[in-house]
Amino acid sequence: MLSAFDAYLVLIGLETLSERVAKQTKNAEKIASFLVENKHVEWVRYASLKDSPHKKLAEKYFPRGVGGLLAFGFKGTQLQREKFINSIALFHYHVNIGDVRSLLVNSPQTTHGELEPNEKITADIPENLIRLSLGLEDPKDLIEDLTQAFNKAFA
């Protein structure tokens, strides 16, 4: 049961929810476009991208955008991937999603780390998958953070 103060906070949060989700969606679209063009990225999973097999369904069912969550395949060694993750400055390393802060996590080693290799294959969770949950920061700052982390990982 919520306390009165917690209920008050929920109501205040609901007042700005649509604005926050719209900003997160715009940020995700910009970051997804940046990642598609990055030579250190093998693939990007974001349903509104023009090459996504889910684009038509996304347009039909999500006319205001598909949200702030995306994933990409890091094109490099495990050591480079670890250096990339450790070099991130603006993104927060957390396993949750939907925060006002941008979050990054290597799902195959965290949230899905207990799965056997064959189970990860069945679930389509490759070892190089990195998940991003975009927050409310300026997308230019987020792109700069990703760029500097890629640069450090591949230096």
Identify which of 107, 94, 85 has the alpha carbon closest to the alpha carbon of residue 134.
94
Q: Do the Cβ atoms of 116 and 110 come closer than 8 Å?
A: no
Distance in angstroms (rounded) separating the CA atoms of residues 103 and 27: 12
pTM above 0.85, yes or no: yes
Q: Strands 129-133 and 103-105, how do they pair?
A: antiparallel
Q: Using one digit for the tens of pLDDT, what is the confidence trace for 54-105? A: 999 999 999 999 999 999 999 999 999 999 999 999 999 988 888 899 999 9
Tokens 């993750």, located at residue: 85
pLDDT at 23: 96
| pLDDT at residue 116 in the model | 85
**Alpha helices in the chain, H assignment, sequence order:** 4-15, 17-36, 55-61, 78-87, 117-122, 139-153
Counting residues of the chain whose pLDDT is more than 90, the rounded percentage is: 81
Domains within the chain, CATH numbers bracketed: 22-153 (3.90.1150.10)
Q: How far is CA 20 from the centre of its chain?
A: 15
**111 pLDDT more than 80:** no
Nearest to 136 by CA among 22, 10, 47: 22
Instruction: Spell out a b/e string for 105-131, using b for 16 or more CB atoms within 10 Å of the CB, else e.
Output: bbbbeeeeeeeeeeebeeeebeebbbb
| Residue whose entry in the numeric block shows the structure tokens 């974001």 | 46
Name the pLDDT band for 33 (thresholds 50, 70, 90). very high
